[in-house]
Structure 1
Amino acid sequence: MEGQIDLFTLLAMIVAVIAVLKLRSVLGQRSDEDDARIERKAREDVRNPATAGAGSDKVVSLPRRDREEPAVLGAPVDTEEEDKRVREFAKGDETVADGLFAIRKLDPEFDPGEFVNGAKQAYEIIVTSFGEGNKKALRDLLSKDVLEGFTAAISEREARGERIEQNFVGINKADILEAELKNGVANITMRFVSQLITATRDKAGTIVAGDPTKIADVTDIWTFSRDISTARARSNPNWRLIATQDAH
């Protein structure tokens, strides 16, 4: 009918008006997706500062790590104090100091003080185990050649029916005599001055060596070795005794 608006026409007009208002409200505003895209771009600019302002001659490239490995925290650094500490164990011997520094350079975790303490513990265990005839305790502390020598001596003693009575009194001195790094293997020679009460008895119980009532001063020169050539090798902290000799 003329002068009247068809119902369907009215509905179409309302939909059109709503669409225009909706479009106007959206224009000039950022959606969540836009914000996410802008944030991603900002992060990329931080990671690659050289590309953040392409075309600008005022862009400054910040230094960044090419490697993705995390920095090792607490790794020893040869500061002046550390240098002094290493030289104290060298006791003025530059050759020994050079050897310790070479070992430390390849294995930053190496500490001469910790080594000396560990060597003293190993010395006591080895001396005590040898006296007791405990071959099993010696296996992880001795090289193959030294182990063969120690076990042979124990076997010969047992074959003679002899036994050792021993009391480890203590270590008076433990000094580094030599230190070297050769083909990725660290070798350190120590002088131990210890005190023992020891006596060897035969089958009949007669004392054939030593004195169970006296403290004997004993000086030994031992060389310890450890492979530090690779990261895998360095993961094993154990040193092995590779040579022994009596002090003259």
Structure 2
Amino acid sequence: MDEFFDLPTLIVIAVAVFVLFRLRSVLGTRTGNERPPLERRKPAAEAAADDTVVPLRPRGTAAPELDEDHRSRKIEAEIEQFAKGNDELAAGFRAVVEADPTFTPKSFLEGAKQAYEMIVTAYATGDRQMLKNLLEKDVYDGFHRAISEREAAGQTVDFTFVGLPKVEISDAEYDKKNVLVTVRFHAEVVSATRDKDGALVEGNADQVQTVADEWTFARNPKSRDPNWKVIATSQLD
């Protein structure tokens, strides 16, 4: 019998008893009244959801209504800002927004400024494809003729777009088919047209010029195409 109770065996038994005792104290014993695992996790999940700043899925219908109300106030504030006390222009903005809920004066004007720079630069460099993408057919045809006449005469244009110190929306309307917005651009450019021999024909390569244009942009709000096109251009005095 002594061979079964040597010192190493007693040490192993003692360690096993100690480990079992620690496991029991940490894990506890089941009494039959414990909640199922899912119930134990539920309060923690609810607490985590309450701490989320933006829930993954809105609760109820209150949030969408608040968002729509916030958007309406924001657009109305923009209308007042960009109309500058012009009641007719403000009414035009509201008509455009009603026809095209994605429209806001601020974002439109930012896009119009980019389009203006792209178009005048494309005209100077003779980039017909760029012009075709941004201009309505009749307007494009006029630009195309002017470029062709310049090329036939062997003329080239040195052009640098400097900036737009003043831009403002002058008119807005919905004609039951298209939404139309007219913008006045006061641009600063450096432009010099030279003949085939390099002699200056028009402009000044060393001087910034100020040009003023009024362009009308249009799009069909029922179209899937989100892009606006220039349908009319005129030079202001």
> Is the Cα–Cα contact under 8 Å of residues 173 and 181 in structure 2 kept in the other structure?
yes
CA RMSD of aligned residues (A): 1.9
- 1:220 correspondence with 2:213: yes
Change (3 A) 1:161 1:189: same
CA distance in 2, matches of 1:216, 1:133: 20
Structure 2, unaligned stretches of length 5 or more?
1-60
**Where does residue 237 of structure 1 map in the other structure?**
226
Per-residue displacement from partner, 1:157-193 (whole Å, max 9, x unpaired)?
0000001000100111110001010013111110001
Quote how far apart the aligned CAs of 1:72 are.
9.4
CA distance in 2, matches of 1:225, 1:73: 31
CA distance in 2, matches of 1:125, 1:178: 22
Quote how far apart the aligned CAs of 1:109 are.
1.4
Quote how far apart the aligned CAs of 1:84 are.
2.1
- 1:91 correspondence with 2:84: yes
Question: Within 5 A, what are the aligned runs for 1:1-248?
Answer: 79-228=72-221, 230=222, 233=223, 235-248=224-237
Change (3 A) 1:76 1:139: farther
Structure 1, unaligned stretches of length 5 or more?
1-64, 66-70
Quote how far apart the aligned CAs of 1:97 are.
0.8
Kindly tell me the number of residue pairs found equivalent between the two proteins: 175
Per-residue displacement from partner, 1:103-127 (whole Å, max 9, x unpaired)?
1112211111000000000000000
CA distance in 1, matches of 2:114, 2:126: 18
Bigger Cα Rg: 1
Change (3 A) 1:108 1:159: same
Change (3 A) 1:163 1:108: same
> Is the Cα–Cα contact under 8 Å of residues 78 and 104 in structure 2 kept in the other structure?
no
CA distance in 1, matches of 2:195, 2:151: 10
Quote how far apart the aligned CAs of 1:195 are.
0.3
CA distance in 1, matches of 2:160, 2:227: 26
Per-residue displacement from partner, 1:21-61 (whole Å, max 9, x unpaired)?
xxxxxxxxxxxxxxxxxxxxxxxxxxxxxxxxxxxxxxxxx
CA distance in 2, matches of 1:158, 1:241: 24
Identity fraction in percent: 40
CA distance in 2, matches of 1:240, 1:73: 34
CA distance in 2, matches of 1:192, 1:101: 22
Per-residue displacement from partner, 1:187-233 (whole Å, max 9, x unpaired)?
111000110000000010000100000000111111001111x2xx1
Give the AA of the match of 2:185.
F
Q: Which of the two has greater helix per residue? A: 2
Quote how far apart the aligned CAs of 1:93 are.
1.1
CA distance in 2, matches of 1:76, 1:148: 44
